[in-house]
Amino acid sequence: MEEKKLGLPSVVATGVGLIVATSCLLSLGQGSAAIGTPFIITMIIACAFNILTALSICELNALMPNLTGGMAQYTLASLGPFISIVITVGGYLTCQTIMGSSEAAMFGNTLNSVFSDFPVSGASYSILLIIILTILNLYGVDMFAKIQNIVAYGLIGSLIIMGIMGTFKLAPGDVVTQETVISSSPKDIFSLLGLAFFLFIGVEFIVPISSQVKNARFKVPVGMVISLVAILVMQIFMTIGFSHYTPWEELGTSSVPHILYGTLLCGKFGTAWMTIISLLAVVSTLNTALFSIAQICSGMAKINLLPSVFMRKNKKGAPYVGLLLDAVIMVIINATGLSSSEQVTFLILTGCTFWIFSYIILHIDVLVLRKRLPKAPRTFKLPLGPVIPIIGVIGNAFMIYNIDSDWTVKKKIYLIFLIVLAILSVYATIWIKRVMKRPMFKAYQIKEIMAMETDLYQIHHNPALAKRLHLDAKPSVESVSADTNTGTRPE
């Protein structure tokens, strides 16, 4: 049995690492500047709905543990392959590639502004970062954990310290005199829920690494909640700090509000410190995205939702095909300059709409599997019956409704969302009919999905493929456990 390498600190680092991005720091500044400290209420509501989603994911993971495809496999067991492909490819792979590319672009732009005397373009810095992180991730989960722990804890620790300094007026900068509350209107508070939701999105990316976690049944749910609460605490301190040191008008118009805050807080030292934090955020987000997307692609290939080539792993156990493909796409986006265009923010919002919709599907997965398998043993089960998933569905639908305060922008987002949905629907239909040859909306049995995660299943059902992938015919303890402890009943 392969030794599991990741502990609770690495689980929390993964959650924090993906969620806290430079685009999130920008959104935090914009939301705070819009209504002042009442934005804290907006963030608390958004964080609460994300915790509900995390808890639903934990129940699904308890019912179907150690699945690298995560949501794809949960949805396959409840709603069938069609919705599973559309939601996972649209909600995660496409959105994360776009967001990862934009984060890499911010890294390049930051270095380009700091080292303006050097004749190196921002895109060159971005591409270099993508290549370096890709190479490091090819060394497997051990290297991922080492990078992620250092970067994520350096990031969240620095932001909390700067937030505390601003909250308690401990910094050498000049304290500004201004109204801390710009608007306390419920309408204004709710209108920013879509923006606030973006500050907490992505904690479910912990699930694909659960098979590498020691005592995953305990550490995965605890790690998810700790990640979200830690980020909320940090952002509350930062918002209060903004009110003490940063004029709201300047904060709202700045393209780098976190850098502005650092400068007004601690002068040149604060500028340098916040610049380092920004770079840590980019590295953390991009590192998590590259690793997790590769794991998800591998997991989807195991259940035949993507081509089998995504299951290929190198000697270090890294699923290199998905990793390299994602890296190549990010390099192309940055090389063509698309990631630095104004449309990226709009595309990210559209991707987030798809992502939030996928959260709705996760809650529905819980409800469907509760109905279909009420007596199946679960090491973690949501209290209050169907109440939490139903509240989660309603809350996430409300988030989509408030994705932007401008109806013109919202209509454009909804239109692109529907177009992407249509394209993915065509792909899913063709793939299911010609390759999978299964009913599009018929759910798989959980025991079959759990078995498909093991090498033995691939060896038995596709010997030629197993040979190409160099799969071991000897069952591991973990594989046998997955086959014999699925907790299912006849379906």
Give the model confidence (pLDDT) of 284-310 as tens digits: 778 777 877 887 788 778 777 788 888
Task: Locate the DSSP E strands across 28-71.
Answer: none
Yes or no: say if 18 and 296 are a contact pair by the CB < 8 Å rule. no
Q: What is the pLDDT of residues 146-157, one digit of tens each?
A: 665 676 677 778
49-106 confidence digits (pLDDT tens):
999 998 898 888 888 776 655 677 888 889 998 998 888 777 667 777 777 787 787 7
Give Cβ neighbours of residue 174 (< 8 Å, ≥ 6 apart): 245, 264
CB neighbour list of residue 118: distance below 8 Å, 6 or more residues apart: none
Distance CA(163)–CA(184), nearest Å, equals 22
Helix (H) or strand (E) holding 102: helix 95-114
Query: Is CATH 2.40.280.10 the right assignment for the domain spanning 14-439?
Result: no
**283 near 93, Cβ under 8 Å?**
no
Task: Give me the residue spans of the domains in the chain.
Answer: 14-439
Inform me whether the pLDDT recorded for 4 exceeds 70.
no
Q: What one-letter code names the amino acid at 250?
A: E
Contact 17, 229 (CB under 8 A): no
CA 314 to chain centre: 25
pLDDT at 474 over 60: no
pTM over 0.85? The answer is no
Give 342's pLDDT tier (boundaries 50, 70, 90): low
DSSP 366-381: HHHHHHH-TTS--SS-
Q: How confident is the model at residue 169 (pLDDT cuts 50, 70, 90)?
A: very high
| Max avg pLDDT among 1-5, 116-120, 206-210, 369-373 | 369-373
**Do 249 and 40 touch, CB atoms closer than 8 A?**
no
What is the structure's pLDDT at 202?
A: 74
Q: What is the mean pLDDT of residues 312-323?
A: 83
Between CA 413 and CA 416 the distance in angstroms is 5
217, 379 in Cβ contact below 8 A? yes
Which residue from 111, 134, 114, 133 is spatially nearest to 123, judged by alpha carbons? 111
Computed over every residue of the chain, the mean pLDDT equals 79
Q: Which residues pair with 6 in a beta bridge?
A: 213
For the record, the structure tokens of 95 come out as: 């959105």
Distance in angstroms (rounded) separating the CA atoms of residues 474 and 477: 10
Q: DSSP alpha helices (H): ranges in 172-308?
A: 186-191, 193-197, 216-245, 248-253, 257-302
How far is 46 from 28, CA to CA, in rounded Å? 13
Band (17; pLDDT cuts 50, 70, 90): low
For residue 36, report the phi and psi dihedrals to the nearest 5 degrees. Answer: 80, -150
Tokens of 160: 């909390």
Average pLDDT over residues 305-319: 81
Q: Are 17 and 151 in contact (CB under 8 A)?
A: yes
Report d(CA 185, CA 107) in Å as an integer: 36
Alpha-carbon distance of 409 to 348, in angstroms, equals: 13
Give the tokens for residue 332: 């192309």
Percent of the chain with pLDDT over 70: 82
What is the DSSP-derived secondary structure letter of residue 445? Answer: P
> Which range has the worst mean pLDDT, 22-36, 242-256, 340-354, 439-453?
340-354
Give the 3-state DSSP-derived string for 228-255, with helices as H, strands as E and coil as C: HHHHHHHHHHHHHHHHHHCCHHHHHHCC
